Structure 1
Amino acid sequence: MLQIDRWKRILIIGICLLGLAYAMPNLFYKRVEAHNDAVASIEKTGVTTPELDAARGAWPGWLPNGLVNLGLDLRGGAHLLGEVQVDQVYKARMDALWPELRRALAEERATIGAVRRVPAPDGTLAIEIGTPDQIARATEIVRGFSEPVTTLTGTGQSSLAISAQGNTITIGLSEAEKAVTDDRTIQQSLEIIRRRVDEVGTREPTIMRQGEDRILIQVPGIGSADELKALIGTTAKLTFNPVTATGSNPDAAPGLGQVVLPAADQEGVYYTLEDSPVVSGEELTDAMPSTDQNGQPSVDFRFNPTGARKFGAYTSANIGQPFAIVLDNQVISAPVIRQAITTGSGQISGSMDFEEANRLAVLLRAGALPAELTFLEERTVGPELGQDSIDAGRIASAMGFIAVIALMVLSYGLFGVFASVALTINMGLIFGVLSMIGATLTLPGIAGIVLTIGMAVDANVLVFERIREELRTARGPARAIELGYEKAMSAIVDANITTLIIAAILFVLGSGPVKGFAVTLTIGIVTSVFTALYVTRLMTVTWFERTRPRQIEV
């Protein structure tokens, strides 16, 4: 019997209405986008302005407000390909290891003699002892700082490669430890870049690893590649170093374990600092833009318990001595310690405006990049080009949509009209699902939607052709329609499952654009099967119940 239960009808209609409701905000894209941005800004800052109120009120809060995010090629934005200088991490590891080794070796000064660091290539630590015949004992102490590498490929290896010759011990990272360090550095860089980009409210950035030491960054909606580089290209490495001397000669030769750095806001002033910091930005827990006692822009920061303890101990022992705050190899402030600072908090002030103070706070909150990022490729996609892509996609979709509808109506008459209405609902459901999951639409994604328009009526064609065959043998049109849907089901399922398998392979093995195509294709397959088997059938059954024709033409 040709019928559909009432609960099934309610469910089908409900799914269609829900999908179309979630797709509707995309018809008012700019208004809804302004509403979402205003709501996010008010929630984040707690500050409301007339402009924000107007933007928030431009779209009813009780309606869905999810949008299909536009990718870089549709919205315009910036594209960067950066290479992480992992060698810098090796040097930092050796520099951090030296103070610990110096203390451990100094405890046995009576046996091994005086200990000093001698020049060595970056990433290598060379230590000279005073008693050459005790080199074995010194090497044994150094080996105590080496740890097993915990990865599967590094099983049985140590973290340090140690060699001794004469009275000199040379220390570096082992190859297994370098591989682990490289992977950790890239992952840390990815996370820090993602936090920095997300903090400024950009939409759906693409941040992914490419190769062994490269990172691809694509941020839609940002003004230029230079603006993006200003945000993520800064290492934002904050350290607090003891000051040993102040002068005006940038070429002054520092002592071993020291470095000469310029003042950020005083031209011609250079500071000689201890290379090993007392506290680093990694021990910061928070940073917020603020104002100093003179009402000038500044940044307030707070250390974690470990950093607060080290900061308090140093300031207690060095009252009256200058102390440098270093950001990206520039001394932004070198105050004299007036009293012990045991609260674990402080303030950075200097020649900065409020925008720079806010950006510095963002960078410090996100953390320092573990190594410098060198940009190998940069590209800015203008919004005009993105709009051209959107317009071209609309034209392609409209032409395909009209052609499919014309073919279906001419081929199947009233049943073709049902299929065309279902195709319209199908397009709405695709955008509704994309909006619900917060997907990003790119040009390949539009290609997937255009392909879906052509494929969406395949199931209807199979059903209608099967109904035509059944009309020759079945007892009446109702039975022919019922058998048409039943016998076409296996072919429809087979065809769409194979396409879903291909889409899954594209998603797993493909890069960003290919993944976008696979996502829209997968959603389109699911929604087209739903509309062909249920929405079209519901319309056909409803029409048949009202008209009760004795004969039908398909």
Structure 2
Amino acid sequence: MNHYAPWRYALMVVLIILGVIYALPNFYGADPALQLQTKSGVPFTLEQQEKVTEVLTEQHVEPIAVTQESSALLIRFKNTEDQLKAQSYVQAVLGEGVTVALNLAPRTPAWLRALNAEPMKLGLDLRGGIHFLYHVDVDAMYQEQLNTDVRAMGEALRKKTIRYMRIGIIPQADKTPDGGIMIAFRNEEDRAQALSVLERDDFHAYQFTTSKQNDRYFIQAIFQHTAALALAEQAMTQNLTTLRNRVNALGVSEPVIQQQGRDQISVDLPGIQDSARAKEIIGKVATVRLQLVDMIHDPQGPVPVGDTRFMYEGRPYLLYNEVVLRGRSILSATTITDENGRPAVSIRAGGGEVSRFNQITAENVGRPMATVYVETKMTSKMVDGKVITKTQEEPRVINIATINSALGNSFQISGMESTYAAKNLALLLRSGAYSVPIAPVSERTIGPSLGAENIHAGTLACEMGLLFVAVFMLFYYHVFGLIANCALLLNVIFIVAIMSSLGATLTLPGIAAIVLTVGMAVDANVLINERIREELRNGISPQASIAAGYQRAFVTIVDANVTTLIVALILFSLGTGSVQGFAITLIIGLMTSMVTAIFFTRGLVNIIYGRKRVTSLSIGITVQS
């Protein structure tokens, strides 16, 4: 009655072996390390490795080991203090061509790595680091799109020589993306021609309606909600890409950058403690643009239409507002030293603006051209109890040089204040500007020691939870309690193994979910054991009681776990950050607990009592059959 087919026992053994193998890497620990990667992807030479080792020895920072892994160089250290010291030394020696990332290098043996067995990733609250939350100004993006389309619609009508009285933006109501563009005409004929042109042209994001007021005829182009959502999604995707590029430049391994809600981005930087540097690189919105200098008008007199006055090296200059080349056309930027020994940035450009750039510079040989550094800053102020965030551009001239010949896709920007400024500008130009302005909402720094304390506290909670539950089950259910304890231990092993295999991140709430799962897993065995006890009290034979106990408790166990699983899935889909970490661990724990509490315990019970003439069961009651 109570026995498994041989293949089921074989499956139990295979699952236990796999669970132990893929959970093992988490018990070996990890070393603080630096992961060095050339930006070209070329492996490190022996000479470079020796140079790194030599500079670390000179600075009295002794690495545990230096190993080449694929195209990366991995340097292990005894503690995080040595790791942080070494980062600045190594970066200074190898220069900008190498990314130096802080990392934790697992001590996993080679035979486990050969089986792709890796430890779980640790979340920010366990490893230490910095958390940023940024607000994306989606409303500014809508406004910019409307401004662009106002110019485009006006130009489309002028090309067809269709007269209109005025064109402007309809104000957005309560900051919802239902704004649009209003065009006024003197007569119905012009309006009809304009409507035909606009509907044929590339303005599919708008819904066109007509109206008449007094003797004026109007076209309303309303920005459709679906188009607004698509535009916001595109902008968020571009901002996420830019953020990842900037975080990579910071040298962070395993960063977590994800969208939260409609207009927020969460950034987790494990292992980073220099929040000032992180904010400078992530938060700064900067680019450059090249503009011709107006040599006709007096820079100290009235500013003519189409010009802007700038100060450079204590003197006023007039620049034409027309931009010759924008920062978005820049493909790469590196720090160099110019012919005067001063820091400069070498730039390679691409895209549609390059041919125009070449033409304009060819037509203006011998004339000065300015490089304008533009930094966009976010300012917040309280208005009627609400925080209003605005963007403000702060342009300044960093270089004025004479055009000696037509410029192509490669040139350099000189006149930088320092090597540090040149490096920052090159980094920002490489990673690109944000398509939509962002503003910091919150910042949280977690030190490595606090992360270690969280790990210790979480591990202690798991151990104490397992211990108390195991003692209770053993005392109350005897042999059946021992079997339940084996299932509990297997459940924790399987949770760790699955999370490690999936590359899931373990957080402090995730540890809480494991502790919760321990209690829920043993609850299933309590139901089974109590059902078996009830059958024994009713005078049923031990073998029949075992079969009935598992069969009749099964539906109750499944119902209880399915309802909890539904809640966990809702938490995962609607939650963010730590809530998702809790939910994913709980989901995995629910799955494994059903397998261990039913399949594995039944197998162990069958091994002990199956196919035998049994007169009593060691389950905490004395009922003789």
- TM-score of the superposed pair, with normalisation by structure 2: 0.69
**Which residue of structure 2 lines up, in the alignment, with residue 258 of structure 1?**
307
**Which residue of structure 2 lines up, in the alignment, with residue 13 of structure 1?**
13
**Which residue of structure 1 lines up, in the alignment, with residue 407 of structure 2?**
341
Give a deviation string over 1:258-298, Cα, whole Å, max 9, x none: 334566xxx536654333423323333x3253534658765
**Which residue of structure 2 lines up, in the alignment, with residue 127 of structure 1?**
none
Structure 1 unaligned regions, length at least 5: 125-131
Contact 2:209 2:220 in 1 (8 A): no
1:316 aligns with 2:362: yes
**Which residue of structure 2 lines up, in the alignment, with residue 238 of structure 1?**
288
Change (3 A) 1:388 1:312: same
Instruction: For 1:318-397, list aligned pairs within 5 A.
Output: 318-327=364-373, 328=375, 329-342=395-408, 344-351=409-416, 360-397=425-462
In 2, the alpha carbon distance for the partners of 1:248 and 1:45 equals 54
Contact 2:29 2:106 in 1 (8 A): no
Alignment counterpart, residue 256 of structure 2, candidates 196, 205, 219: 205
In 2, the alpha carbon distance for the partners of 1:541 and 1:91 equals 71
Give a deviation string over 1:159-202, Cα, whole Å, max 9, x none: xx9x9x99xxx999966599565665445334422443355434
Q: Which amino acid aligns with 1:28?
A: Y
Instruction: For 1:159-308, list aligned pairs within 5 A.
Output: 176=224, 179=228, 184-198=234-248, 200-210=251-261, 213-244=263-294, 254-261=303-310, 267-268=313-314, 271-284=317-330, 286-289=331-334, 291-292=336-337, 299-308=345-354
In 2, the alpha carbon distance for the partners of 1:312 and 1:511 equals 48
In 1, the alpha carbon distance for the partners of 2:580 and 2:140 equals 34
Change (3 A) 1:87 1:206: closer
Contact 2:333 2:346 in 1 (8 A): yes
Give a deviation string over 1:503-539, Cα, whole Å, max 9, x none: 1122223333322221111111011111112232333
In 2, the alpha carbon distance for the partners of 1:503 and 1:323 equals 60
Change (3 A) 1:223 1:504: same
Change (3 A) 1:67 1:382: same
Change (3 A) 1:43 1:301: closer
Alignment counterpart, residue 46 of structure 1, candidates 33, 43, 52: 43
Change (3 A) 1:473 1:312: same
In 1, the alpha carbon distance for the partners of 2:36 and 2:9 equals 37
The CA RMSD over aligned residues, in Å, is: 5.0
Mean CA deviation greater in 467-476 or 190-199 = 467-476
Change (3 A) 1:6 1:356: farther
For residue 400 of structure 1, report the CA deviation from its aligned partner: 1.5
**Which residue of structure 1 lines up, in the alignment, with residue 570 of structure 2?**
505
Change (3 A) 1:546 1:351: farther
Contact 1:188 1:369 in 2 (8 A): yes
Structure 2 unaligned regions, length at least 5: 54-62, 68-74, 77-104, 172-178, 180-184, 376-394, 620-625
Contact 1:82 1:214 in 2 (8 A): yes
Change (3 A) 1:315 1:427: same
Change (3 A) 1:238 1:91: farther
**Which residue of structure 1 lines up, in the alignment, with residue 122 of structure 2?**
70
In 1, the alpha carbon distance for the partners of 2:527 and 2:535 equals 12
Q: Which amino acid aligns with 1:5?
A: A
For residue 454 of structure 1, report the CA deviation from its aligned partner: 0.8
SS at match of 2:293: strand
For residue 553 of structure 1, report the CA deviation from its aligned partner: 1.2
- TM-score of the superposed pair, with normalisation by structure 1: 0.77
SS at match of 1:412: helix
Change (3 A) 1:533 1:172: same
Change (3 A) 1:216 1:271: farther
Contact 1:101 1:142 in 2 (8 A): no
Change (3 A) 1:155 1:107: closer
In 1, the alpha carbon distance for the partners of 2:583 and 2:267 equals 21
Percent of aligned pairs with the same amino acid = 33
For residue 410 of structure 1, report the CA deviation from its aligned partner: 0.7
Contact 2:209 2:219 in 1 (8 A): no
Change (3 A) 1:42 1:277: closer
**Which residue of structure 2 lines up, in the alignment, with residue 460 of structure 1?**
525
Q: Which amino acid aligns with 2:285?
A: T
Contact 2:346 2:410 in 1 (8 A): yes
Contact 1:81 1:378 in 2 (8 A): yes
Contact 2:106 2:119 in 1 (8 A): no
Mean CA deviation greater in 357-366 or 316-325 = 357-366
Task: Determine which structure has the larger helix proportion and give its number.
Answer: 1
Alignment counterpart, residue 557 of structure 2, candidates 469, 492, 496: 492
Task: Determine which structure has the larger strand proportion and give its number.
Answer: 2
Q: Which amino acid aligns with 1:20?
A: V
Alignment counterpart, residue 451 of structure 1, candidates 513, 516, 535: 516
1:427 aligns with 2:478: no
**Which residue of structure 2 lines up, in the alignment, with residue 24 of structure 1?**
24
Contact 1:248 1:268 in 2 (8 A): no
Contact 2:257 2:265 in 1 (8 A): no
